[in-house]
């Protein structure tokens, strides 16, 4: 008998998210039943629910920053035990046989990874995410939470953390590298903390100076407003790596001009609209413009260990389930400090 659980679902792109009941599959031999404690709100949840990225299977339960406790394990499970603190990010499965899966890059699975919500699962059902009391996930896509991480604040690491850690590692952020972070929201604040912990010199580029004190406290050396035209002149050719976390389209050439020779601008922000790039912005200093998606399971576990050992934690605003719609509006208004996290105990009925 599938387990019926309480959830919060979007009925359509235009209606508020509200209470729903969904079914979770039976715990198979390699599955784990997790009682969810906290779920982060990622801007991707909003893009998806509002149809920014195309087809949506409504009603949709968003949420791919999930932490909780293992309540049941299948007969063949070896990686996790009942009572363990665990996490689930943006993927719950992949083909496991393509070159990308075999090299630990399941997020780039040639067959397409199975996303935590709004994906067709291996059994043909549509996946439903973490704004719910329980989830059943195959053991290989469940992460272990190291002791040093607080359950209350760890959830955003499962998407915002890994999405910024992965390009910082790929493009060698560390002592002597100058890293720019565009946008100080959920992803941006993790990029600042992680780049600082890796030893890089960090500059934040935000729309205004409203978040300057916070950005400097998180480890940035400089904090500049992009609304000030002087910023682009002052910082020209001063960075080696820029992580663009902005959820909207930007004038990419302005940001490419901030890169020194051989610098790389990595877009993790995913506005869902095409951007224009003047190829001369690349040619004239041998610059690169790249994209990056979350991170593989092995790298996500590595990131969790890194955060635990370097005392890197997301800054969260805990909300109850009935504040989700209001939180979406605040995220859309760049008014998140710096990740909303739903206390899932407020979803349990009576
Ligand atoms: P968020 O918390 O809303 O942060 C985005 C930040 O961008 C805002 O706080 C704001 O920072 C800045 N911003 C927003 N609108 C802007 C505009 N019109 N012009 C300039 N700056 C603007 O969102 P998030 O959860 O960090 O997600 C950011 C983006 O990354 C989304 O598109 C999301 O879908 C995407 N994402 C991608 C991946 C991946 O694997 N590549 C994974 C997760 C999320 P300031 O106030 O500091 O300017
Ligand atoms: Zn996300
Ligand atoms: Zn694959």
- The per-residue pLDDT for range 191-208, each reduced to its tens digit, is 999 999 999 999 999 999
Our answer on whether the CB atom of 92 is closer than 6 Å to any ligand 1 atom is no
pLDDT, residue 51, reads 94
CA of 108 relative to ligand 3 center, distance in Å: 7
**pLDDT tier, 277 (very low <50, low <70, confident <90, very high otherwise):** very high
Decide if pLDDT at 128 tops 80: yes
- Which residue in 48, 76, 73 sits closest to 63, CA to CA? 48
CA of 188 relative to ligand 3 center, distance in Å: 29
| Residue among 109, 159, 247 whose CB has most ligand 1 atoms within 8 A, to mutate | 247
- Span 304-322, average pLDDT: 98
Decide if pLDDT at 145 tops 90: yes
pLDDT, residue 197, reads 98
- Span 83-110, average pLDDT: 98
161: its two tokens: 């953390």
pLDDT, residue 270, reads 95
Decide if pLDDT at 272 tops 90: no
Q: Do the bridges between strand 18-24 and strand 239-244 make them parallel or antiparallel, or are there none, so unpaired? A: unpaired
- Span 218-222, average pLDDT: 98
257: its two tokens: 């001009």
**pLDDT tier, 143 (very low <50, low <70, confident <90, very high otherwise):** very high
* Residues sharing a CB contact under 8 Å with residue 322, sequence separation 6 or more, in sequence order: 346
3-state DSSP of 112-136: CCEECCCCECCCCCECCCCCECEEE
Decide if pLDDT at 350 tops 70: no
| Ligand 1 atom at shortest distance from the alpha carbon of 160 | 43
Helix (H/G/I), strand (E/B), else coil: 186: helix
- Supply the mean pLDDT for the chain: 97
Decide if pLDDT at 349 tops 60: yes
| Ligand 1 atom at shortest distance from the alpha carbon of 271 | 32
Q: What is the pLDDT of residues 39-65, one digit of tens each?
A: 999 999 999 999 999 999 999 999 999
pLDDT, residue 35, reads 98
Q: What is the pLDDT of residues 338-348, one digit of tens each?
A: 999 999 999 98
**pLDDT tier, 136 (very low <50, low <70, confident <90, very high otherwise):** very high
**pLDDT tier, 299 (very low <50, low <70, confident <90, very high otherwise):** very high
Q: What is the pLDDT of residues 155-205, one digit of tens each?
A: 999 999 999 999 999 999 999 999 999 999 999 999 999 999 999 999 999
Chain-centroid distance, C-alpha 219: 20
Our answer on whether the CB atom of 293 is closer than 6 Å to any ligand 1 atom is yes
């Amino acid at each position: 008998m599938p387990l019926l659980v309480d959830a919060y679902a979007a009925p359509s792109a235009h209606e508020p998210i509200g209470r729903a009941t969904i079914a979770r599959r039976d715990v198979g031999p390699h599955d784990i039943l997790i009682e969810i404690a906290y779920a982060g709100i990622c801007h991707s949840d909003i893009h998806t629910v509002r149809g920014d990225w195309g087809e949506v299977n409504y009603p949709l339960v968003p949420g791919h920053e999930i932490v909780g406790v293992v309540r049941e394990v299948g007969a063949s499970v070896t990686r996790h035990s009942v009572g363990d603190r665990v996490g689930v990010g943006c993927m719950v499965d992949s083909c496991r046989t393509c070159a990308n899966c075999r090299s630990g890059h399941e997020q780039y699975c040639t067959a397409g990874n199975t996303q935590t919500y709004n994906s067709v699962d291996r059994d043909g059902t549509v996946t439903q995410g973490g704004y719910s009391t329980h989830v059943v996930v195959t053991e290989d896509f469940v992460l272990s939470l190291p002791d040093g991480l607080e359950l209350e604040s760890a959830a955003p690491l499962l998407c915002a953390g890994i999405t910024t850690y992965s390009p910082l590692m790929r493009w060698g952020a560390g002592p002597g590298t100058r890293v720019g972070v565009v946008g100080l929201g959920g992803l941006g604040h993790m990029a600042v903390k992680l780049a600082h912990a890796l030893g890089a010199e960090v500059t934040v580029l935000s729309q205004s100076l409203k978040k300057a004190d916070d950005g400097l406290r998180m480890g940035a050396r400089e904090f500049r407003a992009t609304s000030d035209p002087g910023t682009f002149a002052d910082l020209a050719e001063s960075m080696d790596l820029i992580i663009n976390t902005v959820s909207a389209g930007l004038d990419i050439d302005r940001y490419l001009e901030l890169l020194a020779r051989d610098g790389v601008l990595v877009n993790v922000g995913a506005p869902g609209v095409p951007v224009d790039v003047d190829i001369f912005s690349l040619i004239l200093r041998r610059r690169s413009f790249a994209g990056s998606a979350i991170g593989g399971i092995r790298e996500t576990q590595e990131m969790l260990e890194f955060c635990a050992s370097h005392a890197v934690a997301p800054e969260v605003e805990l909300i109850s389930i009935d504040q989700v719609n209001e939180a979406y509006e605040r995220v859309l208004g760049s008014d998140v400090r710096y990740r909303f996290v739903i206390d899932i105990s407020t979803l349990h009925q009576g």
